[in-house]
Chain A
Amino acid sequence: MTVSDATARDDLRDTHLGDAELHARLTRTWRTGSGWIERLSSVDHKVVGRRYIITAFVFLCLGGLSAVAMRLQLARPEAKLLGPDLYNQLFTMHGTTMMFLFAVPVMEAFAVYLVPLMLGTRNIAFPRLNAFSYWVYLFGGIFLWASFMLKIGPDAGWFAYVPLSGPDYSPGKRVDVWAQMITFTEVSALAVAIEIIVTVFKQRAPGMTLDRIPLFVWSMLVMSFLIIFAMPAVMVASTMLILDRLVGTHFFNPAEGGDSLLWQHLFWFFGHPEVYIIFIPATGMVSSIIVAFARRPMFGQLPLVLSLIAVGFLSFGLWVHHMFTTGLPQLGASFFTASSMLIAVPNGIQIFCWLATLWDGRPVFKTPLLFVLGFFFIFVIGGLSGVMVASVPLDAQVHDTYFVVAHFHYVLIGGAVFPLIGAVYFWFPKITGRMMSERLGKWNFWLAFVGFNVAFFPMHILGVQGMPRRVYTYLPEMGWGPLNLLSSAGALILFISFVLLLINVITSLSRGRLAGDNPWDAGTLEWATTSPPAPYNFSRIPFVTHREPLWDNRERLPVVTGLSVDSREVVSGTLTEAYPELRESSPEPSIWPLLAAIAVAGTFLGSIFTPWAVVWGSIPVAITLTGWFWPKGTPEDEK
């Protein structure tokens, strides 16, 4: 027997197998078992991605309910529904939940689910890190909301400005909870960012050169770079804050040489890119939906990609515009005004490319496209009020008023949530195998669109009239009552639209029309596989010849062969050309990432009580990480 015979016997390849045997063997190799330990051990990017998406929407629900409670309180002057303490906790929980537990994780969740499918690979890079990141995120979210239920919910705003959040003005554990929740969510977000970058760089299907990468994937790649360079700032800041509170350091204490503006600089060096971490992935969703429903490839792919990258760079040069009222030197203020206006240019280029694509296409107005059109309308208004507050004199007038609340909700809900809901309608068939109801979808869209504008447009006027943010009530003599009532009515309509979305999701799960592989006749690779995709994603790895591969090859998909079917293998290739270099083995399921996440969560939790928790906690963390990395003798380990 020759060596190659032995290899063929021990390590069967996909080259000559028939469809049925290929499916059976790949399923056995890649599936997640049904026992509960096996489920907890899953490293399938689709399983983890689905958990991420569902968890993020649960937090959207909690964050949304806290907003509804605040709107009910503000609906009329001197209402007694909520007291000031609970109100402070609610607006802090709302902002913190929406930013850290919903917006960033939900975008990463879609990336975790879709990027490997769009790239034509079988799993995300570092799948165990991916599972670990989910558990850390989940524990961080539970930690925050359990604290709120125990009446130790943070109450110093989602930005936790010092000195209010410092040891002198916020005794107790509330701000410590906030600061460690940051650590949980940032560890998780940073891990996912690295997975996405390496997946995009190394695991693209052969033939997917840089100019054939889908725009959705480009947007997730740019988002990941923003996360890597922005999130360390908030981790540094929140660590300093907890040290000031716990062990008596003086980073932010002016009496001992500290400086409270240091907090604002560090926070907004993260906080401004954060807006783009949320918005840029949404642009990827918009691009996917527009191409599929305009029925033509994107107009201006290259300027769109360059605009994404330009926005990414520019987003790091804007943070000081959050600090215009802190008495900065005039030159600094002028510089940041200019850079804030400059970022409108690449964003404008993107919008014009999308409009041109729709103009030249044959648009089909299904629910996902409606949400994209809603995005245009709302986001452009938010962008325009953004150009207004980029100017220092105007900003000084409306700073800390409802004008700013209106502005950033137009940007974030218009810019991110509308595309996201469109994305839910668009990819739901792929994830579940069933279509959502179009009729309910149209109701969902129009209620969301009307509700949103009724809720938030009046806030512009309230802001100009001088109504400050973060007040739990106001006097009738201020004359703000009618517009607040209108705003609260809009909030209820918006809330109902989300109830419709939930109903649509639940009923479609069991009763939706079967979707088939490619219900929208879209062109990217996730539509080349079954809905929902098999555990192994693709029975053979696709070979990419075009930017919209499925439009280029309607009959027979070009594929590469030669991968093992009895152990987990993916193709790893060169950075620019995606020329295959390795049959890289992909880690099999493991319970250790969950155990490591439990050890890490225990350490973080303990650290709000004693600094020694970090020392003693490092022991279980080291043990679980070693267990995670130690080879188990499987074929994947031993290659």
Chain B
Amino acid sequence: MFEYCVNPDTLSGLSWLSCYLTTGKHLSFYASFGTVLILLAITAPIALGFGFGGAAMARSHLFPIRWLGKVYISIVRGVPDIAFFMFFVIALDQGLEFIRHHALCPDWTDPIRQGNDFLVCSAAKLPLNTSPQWVHEMYGFSLAVVTFAIVFGAFAANVLYGAMNSVPKAQIETASAYGMTKRQTFWRIIVPQMWLFALPGLSNLWMVLIKATPLLFLLGVEDIVYWARELGGTKHERFTDYPHGDWRMWYFLALLVFYLGFTKVSEVVLNHWMKRLSRGQATAEGEALRRAAS
């Protein structure tokens, strides 16, 4: 990176450190923080969407829709994350390739399953073998977003389902007394007020999601924990210009600071939202706000 980094063995102290911390590998490490933050920023709203859909379905008056929503919530909540990441993702990937295979290579005669092997024609591969590595990483990243959204969506659905039911009955009765339809009651009375009851549960989920990102490496996306382990491992002078011993502790310490800081920021933001939502509500916190104001 810097010009004086050509001969690291002659450097010491801060100048050595400045060179060491700007190797290509370290830049990938810093970039992976961005990957994790982007993943969270994309996944959280999608998961919330899944959760909202699931909760609305589970409350439906039509039996098949209600049943579908409940099955989604209970199955996904019951399966361990890691099993979901191993099996569901491979199944999703293979399912997509299977469909593309039938669409793109109708003349193919060999069976797709040969013993342990899963074999589709090279035009059906996702992504294509010839695509550059970043396409493969983007693909893995998208699979991760979908999988996280489905998993956390199920938990969010359960939280929102409970929250929808927590909106005081009197509110709903009043709505129907005013002649609102079921749909109007849902969108105008239940949805605006349920967030207050959902927020504590959702904030828990958000905290768990922040710390679930190392599962990314199962999909071939290199996240911060992977790089911390790789960079901290013993480096022998034969294989690097910057030899050092087992420094994993320092790298994991850096991760600790990152995670704690991120959690703190999240907490501040969530508390702020909680205050906003409590305004004018007939809850203990809403009452406290009212008293403080008067």
Chain A bound to chain B: no
> Which residues in A have some Cβ–Cβ distance to B below 8 Å?
none
